[in-house]
Amino acid sequence: MKFGGTSVGTPTKIREVANLITVPGRKIVVLSAMAGTTNDLVSYAEYLYKKEQAEAQALLEAMHQKYVAVAEELFQTNEFKTKSIELINSHFDYLTSFNQDLFTRHEEKAVLAQGELISTALMHFHLWETGFRAVLLPALNFMRIDKDQEPDNYYIRENLKRELASYPDVELLITQGFICRNAFGEIDNLKRGGSDYTASIIGAAADAEEIQIWTDIDGFHNNDPRYVSGTRRIDRLSFDEAAELAYFGAKILHPTSVRPAKEKNIPVRLKNTMNPASPGTLIAAGDSGHGIKAVAAKDGITAIRIQSDRMLLAFGFLRKVFEIFESYRTPIDMIATSEVSVSMTIDQEDNLREIASDLKKYGKVEVVSDQSIICVVGDMIAENSGMALRVLEALRTIPIRMISYGSSNNNISLLIRTSDKIQALNALSNHLFNGL
Ligand code: ASP
Ligand code: MG
């Protein structure tokens, strides 16, 4: 069971989560840092890089005060107030110790780890104070990534097994999301939003019956509730459909977290802490229903088109183009090709200038930014004709720059201008889901 930052964001919320996890059954609970903390720690690190020590100190003091206030409110007894404030003080002493001349990438990782270390310790104290036996499993004892930043699944499985074997009769085990060690044993993390990934990796390593991701919405919706009204919860998705939706915009689940569950065929359930009775969305193998299930959009996309006579009847051309992206470690999202040109999209502009200039070796290069990918997800088998037509019909009045259809059975992606996005999402909702 994984709970995100907003789910543990206040003393009241911490108590609510405690109610949800103190039900019968053995479970591992993965917690994020309290809402806002990781962002604050990132800002703290930025001040340290810039040597703005006064600003750094002021930010840290404000955070420290917030945490002390949380402890005062969360705990009833002086014993636990004192215990928790001592713990908070020690984490803030540690954080203050970085406020010196030199600050490194490696130290930044240690700074960012403090949020999850504090939130899990507070939850542990709270359960203890209210009489529930729970054990705190330090994620740094078993979560590890390898030299390629990928989870070291063998290491994780063996070490988690050992940790779990030490507490055979404890039903409730709590651990930190996001944080891990790297191949050198240093503190590292699974990148922003990585707690979902932690939960899925742990669920797979522990052969869990189910992986639950608890947030503050009833699961995946069939469209983006920020831009479209009257969206509906999706009951069931396949792993691949969920991966596409998570990747293309639906903020509720971190995209990498589908893979470990899929590999071990462990169902993932998205649940709502504010409405625990709702079944949420179940992501699992097997029949997940037919037809178009959801629409999502991803902004910040740049389209790159390269046009070259050299592509005509040539082999090896695409490899050369892709190698350029690879050399700048920039993933490509969508591609479309014709006989003399290829268009690609990226969502990472860091090396855009270099990429474009390298591509010019092969032809004329055109770069267009401020684009969005609209992703339509569902069971889109070719025999089930008319799906693409319905999508295009809905977007009748919207200029479409690229279309990707047929690479999988569960997705149609379209590239449009970001300024047309809201209109496109609403048109798709009306046409596909509301029969308008
Ligand atoms: N606390 C981390 C973050 O804000 C990890 C997470 O919440 O998933 O990115
Ligand atoms: Mg999150």
Helix 37-49 / helix 114-129 crossing angle, nearest 10 deg: 140
- CA-wise closest residue to 121 among 165, 179, 163: 179
Q: Which atom of ligand 1 is nearest to the CA of 39?
A: 4
Q: Quick check: CB of 302 below 6 Å from ligand 1?
A: no
189 close to ligand 1 (CB < 6 Angstrom): no
Q: What is residue 408's predicted lDDT score, i.e. its pLDDT?
A: 83
Structural contact between residues 176 and 30, judged by C-beta atoms closer than 8 angstroms? yes
Q: Mutate which of 195, 196, 200, 256 to test ligand 1's pocket (most atoms within 8 Å of Cβ)?
A: 195
What pLDDT shows up at residue 271?
Answer: 96
Ligand 1 centroid–CA 32 distance in Å is 6
**What is the Å distance from ligand 2's center to 5 Cα?**
7
Evaluate: CB of 9 within 6 angstroms of ligand 1. Answer: no
For a pocket test of ligand 1, which of 38, 179, 188 has the largest count of ligand atoms closer than 8 A to its C-beta? Answer: 38
Is ligand 1 within 6 A of the CB of residue 28?
no
Q: Is 38 in the pocket of ligand 1 (CB under 6 A)?
A: yes
Q: Which ligand is nearest to the CA of 178?
A: 1
* H-run or E-run covering 299: strand 291-307
- Cα 263 from Cα 243, distance rounded (Å): 13
Query: Which ligand lies nearest to the CA atom of residue 120 in the structure?
Result: 1
Is the CB of 191 within 6 Å of ligand 1?
A: no
Please give the Cα distance from 367 to 349 (Å, whole number): 11
CA of 179 to the centre of ligand 1 (A): 9
Q: How far is the CA of 16 from the centre of ligand 2 (A)?
A: 18
- Give me the domains of the chain, ranges plus CATH numbers: 2-208 (3.40.1160.10), 293-433 (3.30.2130.10)
Q: Give the pLDDT score at 86.
A: 98
Query: 194 alpha carbon to ligand 2 midpoint, in Å?
Result: 7
- Measured from the Cα of 193, ligand 1's closest atom is 8
What sign has the CA pseudo-torsion 15, 256, 110, 145? positive
* 77 CA from centroid of ligand 2 (Å): 32
pLDDT value at position 334? 94
Mean pLDDT, the chain cut into blocks of 10 residues (436 residues total) = 97 98 97 98 97 97 98 98 98 96 92 98 98 97 96 98 96 98 97 96 98 94 93 94 85 90 97 95 88 92 92 80 95 91 93 96 95 92 76 96 88 96 97 87
Count helices and strands in the chain by DSSP H and E runs:
14, 16
Check if 5 has its Cβ closer than 6 Å to any atom of ligand 1. Answer: yes
Q: How far does residue 249's CA lie from ligand 1's centre (Å)? A: 17
Query: How many angstroms separate the alpha carbon of residue 431 from the centre of ligand 2?
Result: 31
Provide CB contacts within 8 A for 389, sequence distance 6+: none
CA distance linking residue 188 with residue 390, whole number of Å: 46
Could you tell me the two tokens for 387?
């799906």
Q: Report the nearest-CA residue for atom 8 of ligand 1.
A: 193
Contact 223, 280 (CB under 8 A): no
Query: According to the model, what pLDDT value does residue 382 have?
Result: 59
Residue 341 in 3-state DSSP?
Answer: strand
Residue 192 beta carbon below 6 angstroms from any ligand 1 atom: yes
Q: 13 CA distance to ligand 1 centroid (A)?
A: 17
